[in-house]
A = this chain, B = another copy of it.
Amino acid sequence: MRYKRVSNNTVRRLPKYLRKLNELAQNGATRVSSAELGAALGCAPSQVRHDLDNFGTFGMQGYGYDIAELRSHISRILGMDRSYNAILVGCGNIGQSLLCNFNFEEHGVKLEAAFDVNRKLIGQQFNGVSVLDASCLPGYLAQRKIDIAVLSVPKEAALDTAQVIITNGIRAIWNFTNTEVVEPNSTVLVENVHLSDSLLALSYYFAENEDAQRSRQNRMRSRQAT
Protein backbone atom coordinates (compact mmCIF):
# COMPACT_ATOMS: atom_id res chain seq x y z
CA MET A 1 0.00 0.00 0.00
CA ARG A 2 1.18 3.52 -0.72
CA TYR A 3 2.18 5.53 2.29
CA LYS A 4 1.26 9.13 2.91
CA ARG A 5 0.67 10.95 6.15
CA VAL A 6 -3.10 10.72 6.52
CA SER A 7 -4.86 13.51 8.39
CA ASN A 8 -7.21 12.79 11.25
CA ASN A 9 -10.02 14.52 9.37
CA THR A 10 -9.57 12.09 6.52
CA VAL A 11 -9.62 9.12 8.91
CA ARG A 12 -12.87 10.38 10.45
CA ARG A 13 -14.50 10.63 7.04
CA LEU A 14 -13.69 7.07 6.01
CA PRO A 15 -16.38 5.44 8.19
CA LYS A 16 -18.89 7.94 6.86
CA TYR A 17 -18.04 7.07 3.28
CA LEU A 18 -18.42 3.43 4.18
CA ARG A 19 -21.80 4.02 5.76
CA LYS A 20 -23.03 5.82 2.64
CA LEU A 21 -21.65 3.04 0.44
CA ASN A 22 -23.48 0.42 2.50
CA GLU A 23 -26.68 2.37 2.16
CA LEU A 24 -26.24 2.68 -1.60
CA ALA A 25 -25.43 -1.02 -1.93
CA GLN A 26 -28.54 -1.90 0.05
CA ASN A 27 -30.57 0.11 -2.43
CA GLY A 28 -29.08 -1.95 -5.22
CA ALA A 29 -26.70 0.67 -6.62
CA THR A 30 -23.40 -0.54 -8.06
CA ARG A 31 -21.54 2.67 -8.89
CA VAL A 32 -21.08 6.03 -7.27
CA SER A 33 -19.28 9.27 -8.12
CA SER A 34 -17.12 11.39 -5.85
CA ALA A 35 -19.77 14.09 -6.30
CA GLU A 36 -22.47 11.86 -4.81
CA LEU A 37 -20.29 10.75 -1.90
CA GLY A 38 -19.25 14.33 -1.24
CA ALA A 39 -22.84 15.50 -1.23
CA ALA A 40 -23.71 12.87 1.38
CA LEU A 41 -21.05 14.21 3.70
CA GLY A 42 -21.40 17.87 2.82
CA CYS A 43 -17.96 18.25 1.28
CA ALA A 44 -16.51 18.86 -2.19
CA PRO A 45 -16.06 16.02 -4.69
CA SER A 46 -12.35 16.76 -4.77
CA GLN A 47 -12.26 16.18 -1.02
CA VAL A 48 -13.46 12.63 -1.53
CA ARG A 49 -10.95 11.95 -4.29
CA HIS A 50 -8.19 13.54 -2.26
CA ASP A 51 -9.04 11.39 0.75
CA LEU A 52 -9.04 8.16 -1.22
CA ASP A 53 -5.86 9.16 -3.03
CA ASN A 54 -4.04 8.69 0.28
CA PHE A 55 -4.55 4.95 0.02
CA GLY A 56 -4.43 4.11 -3.65
CA THR A 57 -6.42 4.55 -6.84
CA PHE A 58 -9.79 2.93 -6.58
CA GLY A 59 -11.86 4.66 -9.26
CA MET A 60 -12.18 4.67 -13.02
CA GLN A 61 -12.08 7.82 -15.10
CA GLY A 62 -15.36 8.65 -16.70
CA TYR A 63 -17.17 6.09 -14.56
CA GLY A 64 -16.67 6.70 -10.85
CA TYR A 65 -16.24 4.03 -8.20
CA ASP A 66 -17.52 0.49 -8.08
CA ILE A 67 -19.42 0.39 -4.80
CA ALA A 68 -18.59 -3.19 -3.82
CA GLU A 69 -14.93 -2.66 -4.60
CA LEU A 70 -14.66 0.63 -2.74
CA ARG A 71 -16.44 -0.85 0.26
CA SER A 72 -13.94 -3.62 0.53
CA HIS A 73 -11.01 -1.21 0.12
CA ILE A 74 -12.26 1.11 2.86
CA SER A 75 -13.09 -1.83 5.16
CA ARG A 76 -9.57 -3.08 4.76
CA ILE A 77 -8.05 0.37 5.29
CA LEU A 78 -10.05 0.68 8.51
CA GLY A 79 -8.64 -2.63 9.70
CA MET A 80 -12.00 -4.35 9.75
CA ASP A 81 -10.51 -7.53 8.30
CA ARG A 82 -7.95 -7.90 11.08
CA SER A 83 -10.22 -9.52 13.68
CA TYR A 84 -9.00 -7.56 16.64
CA ASN A 85 -9.64 -9.06 20.05
CA ALA A 86 -11.28 -6.95 22.69
CA ILE A 87 -12.41 -7.07 26.28
CA LEU A 88 -14.93 -4.85 28.00
CA VAL A 89 -14.19 -3.52 31.46
CA GLY A 90 -17.09 -2.22 33.52
CA CYS A 91 -20.51 -3.85 33.06
CA GLY A 92 -22.75 -1.14 34.43
CA ASN A 93 -25.45 0.37 32.32
CA ILE A 94 -23.27 1.63 29.50
CA GLY A 95 -21.20 -1.52 29.46
CA GLN A 96 -24.29 -3.70 29.32
CA SER A 97 -25.83 -1.64 26.57
CA LEU A 98 -22.66 -2.04 24.53
CA LEU A 99 -22.60 -5.77 25.21
CA CYS A 100 -26.23 -6.20 24.24
CA ASN A 101 -26.61 -3.76 21.39
CA PHE A 102 -23.36 -2.94 19.77
CA ASN A 103 -22.41 -5.25 16.97
CA PHE A 104 -18.68 -5.63 17.53
CA GLU A 105 -18.38 -8.47 15.01
CA GLU A 106 -19.74 -6.24 12.28
CA HIS A 107 -16.81 -3.94 12.89
CA GLY A 108 -14.27 -6.72 12.79
CA VAL A 109 -13.82 -6.82 16.55
CA LYS A 110 -14.19 -9.96 18.65
CA LEU A 111 -15.37 -9.36 22.20
CA GLU A 112 -13.67 -12.09 24.21
CA ALA A 113 -14.75 -11.30 27.76
CA ALA A 114 -16.17 -8.69 30.09
CA PHE A 115 -15.02 -7.72 33.57
CA ASP A 116 -16.59 -6.17 36.62
CA VAL A 117 -16.03 -5.90 40.38
CA ASN A 118 -19.69 -6.47 41.20
CA ARG A 119 -20.36 -9.95 42.65
CA LYS A 120 -23.86 -9.98 41.21
CA LEU A 121 -22.60 -9.45 37.69
CA ILE A 122 -19.65 -11.84 37.78
CA GLY A 123 -20.64 -15.12 36.18
CA GLN A 124 -23.50 -13.63 34.20
CA GLN A 125 -23.53 -13.58 30.42
CA PHE A 126 -24.59 -10.76 28.13
CA ASN A 127 -25.14 -11.62 24.53
CA GLY A 128 -22.86 -14.63 24.91
CA VAL A 129 -20.05 -12.75 26.65
CA SER A 130 -19.23 -13.83 30.21
CA VAL A 131 -18.52 -11.37 32.99
CA LEU A 132 -15.34 -12.26 34.84
CA ASP A 133 -13.94 -10.96 38.11
CA ALA A 134 -12.04 -7.73 37.52
CA SER A 135 -9.31 -8.89 39.89
CA CYS A 136 -8.41 -11.54 37.30
CA LEU A 137 -7.63 -8.92 34.66
CA PRO A 138 -3.83 -9.01 34.95
CA GLY A 139 -3.73 -12.79 34.74
CA TYR A 140 -6.17 -12.82 31.85
CA LEU A 141 -4.21 -10.25 29.88
CA ALA A 142 -0.95 -12.09 30.50
CA GLN A 143 -2.37 -15.22 28.89
CA ARG A 144 -4.10 -13.83 25.82
CA LYS A 145 -3.36 -11.37 23.11
CA ILE A 146 -5.96 -8.65 23.57
CA ASP A 147 -5.79 -5.65 21.24
CA ILE A 148 -8.48 -3.32 22.49
CA ALA A 149 -10.07 -2.63 25.87
CA VAL A 150 -13.49 -1.03 26.05
CA LEU A 151 -13.42 1.05 29.20
CA SER A 152 -16.88 1.61 30.66
CA VAL A 153 -16.25 1.77 34.38
CA PRO A 154 -17.58 4.63 36.52
CA LYS A 155 -15.67 7.89 36.27
CA GLU A 156 -14.14 7.42 39.72
CA ALA A 157 -12.54 4.11 38.73
CA ALA A 158 -11.38 5.29 35.31
CA LEU A 159 -7.79 6.25 36.04
CA ASP A 160 -6.99 3.24 38.23
CA THR A 161 -8.52 0.78 35.81
CA ALA A 162 -6.73 2.37 32.86
CA GLN A 163 -3.50 2.06 34.81
CA VAL A 164 -4.06 -1.64 35.41
CA ILE A 165 -4.86 -2.57 31.83
CA ILE A 166 -2.07 -0.42 30.36
CA THR A 167 0.44 -1.93 32.76
CA ASN A 168 -0.71 -5.33 31.60
CA GLY A 169 -0.13 -4.62 27.96
CA ILE A 170 -3.22 -2.96 26.53
CA ARG A 171 -2.25 -0.53 23.74
CA ALA A 172 -5.69 0.72 22.68
CA ILE A 173 -8.66 1.91 24.72
CA TRP A 174 -12.18 2.76 23.66
CA ASN A 175 -12.94 5.13 26.47
CA PHE A 176 -16.48 5.82 27.72
CA THR A 177 -15.55 7.25 31.11
CA ASN A 178 -15.77 10.96 30.34
CA THR A 179 -12.27 11.31 31.72
CA GLU A 180 -8.88 11.68 30.10
CA VAL A 181 -7.16 8.42 30.96
CA VAL A 182 -3.76 9.15 29.39
CA GLU A 183 -1.51 12.16 28.85
CA PRO A 184 -1.92 13.98 25.49
CA ASN A 185 1.17 12.40 23.95
CA SER A 186 0.89 8.87 25.31
CA THR A 187 1.77 5.99 23.01
CA VAL A 188 -1.39 4.23 24.16
CA LEU A 189 -4.15 4.79 21.63
CA VAL A 190 -7.27 6.23 23.22
CA GLU A 191 -10.50 6.86 21.38
CA ASN A 192 -12.77 8.92 23.58
CA VAL A 193 -16.54 8.85 23.55
CA HIS A 194 -17.10 11.89 25.72
CA LEU A 195 -20.87 12.22 25.92
CA SER A 196 -20.57 15.30 28.13
CA ASP A 197 -18.50 17.12 25.55
CA SER A 198 -20.92 16.14 22.85
CA LEU A 199 -23.99 17.41 24.68
CA LEU A 200 -22.24 20.64 25.62
CA ALA A 201 -21.30 21.28 22.00
CA LEU A 202 -24.94 20.81 21.05
CA SER A 203 -25.93 23.18 23.84
CA TYR A 204 -23.41 25.75 22.60
CA TYR A 205 -24.76 25.72 19.07
CA PHE A 206 -28.33 25.89 20.32
CA ALA A 207 -27.47 28.93 22.40
CA GLU A 208 -25.63 30.51 19.47
CA ASN A 209 -28.73 30.01 17.32
CA GLU A 210 -30.96 31.59 19.93
CA ASP A 211 -28.68 34.60 20.22
CA ALA A 212 -28.41 35.05 16.48
CA GLN A 213 -32.19 34.94 16.19
CA ARG A 214 -32.65 37.37 19.03
CA SER A 215 -30.24 39.89 17.53
CA ARG A 216 -32.03 39.60 14.20
CA GLN A 217 -35.31 40.39 15.94
CA ASN A 218 -33.73 43.34 17.69
CA ARG A 219 -32.52 44.73 14.40
CA MET A 220 -36.05 44.37 13.02
CA ARG A 221 -37.55 46.16 15.99
CA SER A 222 -35.13 49.06 15.89
CA ARG A 223 -35.82 49.41 12.19
CA GLN A 224 -39.57 49.58 12.79
CA ALA A 225 -38.98 52.09 15.57
CA THR A 226 -37.14 54.44 13.21
Number of copies: 2
From the candidates B39, B78, B195, B208, name the one contacting A102 in the complex (CB within 8 A).
B195
Asked whether A101 and B107 contact (CB < 8 A) given A189-B202, A201-B11, the answer is no
With an 8 A cutoff between CB atoms, is A219 at the interface?
Answer: no
With an 8 A cutoff between CB atoms, is A204 at the interface?
Answer: yes
Asked whether A207 and B78 contact (CB < 8 A) given A93-B101, A109-B199, the answer is yes
A100 touching B109, Cβ below 8 Å: no
With an 8 A cutoff between CB atoms, is A140 at the interface?
Answer: no
- Write the nearest CB–CB distance from A150 to chain B, whole angstroms: 9
Query: Interface size class for chain A?
Result: 35 or more
- Write the nearest CB–CB distance from A165 to chain B, whole angstroms: 15
Interface flags, A87-109, vs B, CB<8A=1, else 0: 00000111011001110100111
Residues in B with CB closer than 8 Å to A211 are: 1
Interface flags, A186-224, vs B, CB<8A=1, else 0: 000101011111111111111111110000000000000
Residues in B with CB closer than 8 Å to A50 are: none
Asked whether A206 and B79 contact (CB < 8 A) given A15-B194, A191-B199, A198-B193, the answer is yes
Residues in B with CB closer than 8 Å to A147 are: 206
Interface core residue of A18, A94, A207 (most chain B CB under 10 Å) = A207
With an 8 A cutoff between CB atoms, is A84 at the interface?
Answer: yes
A199 touching B174, Cβ below 8 Å: yes
Residues in B with CB closer than 8 Å to A204 are: 11, 14, 77-79
Interface flags, A138-152, vs B, CB<8A=1, else 0: 000000000110000
With an 8 A cutoff between CB atoms, is A32 at the interface?
Answer: no
- Write the nearest CB–CB distance from A94 to chain B, whole angstroms: 5
Asked whether A80 and B195 contact (CB < 8 A) given A97-B94, A97-B96, A184-B39, the answer is no
In the A-B complex, the 5 residue pairs with the closest CB atoms: A42-B184, A79-B207, A93-B97, A191-B202, A15-B197
Name 10 interchain pairs, CB-CB below 8 A, sorted by A: A15-B194, A39-B184, A77-B204, A79-B203, A107-B203, A174-B198, A189-B202, A191-B198, A191-B205, A193-B195
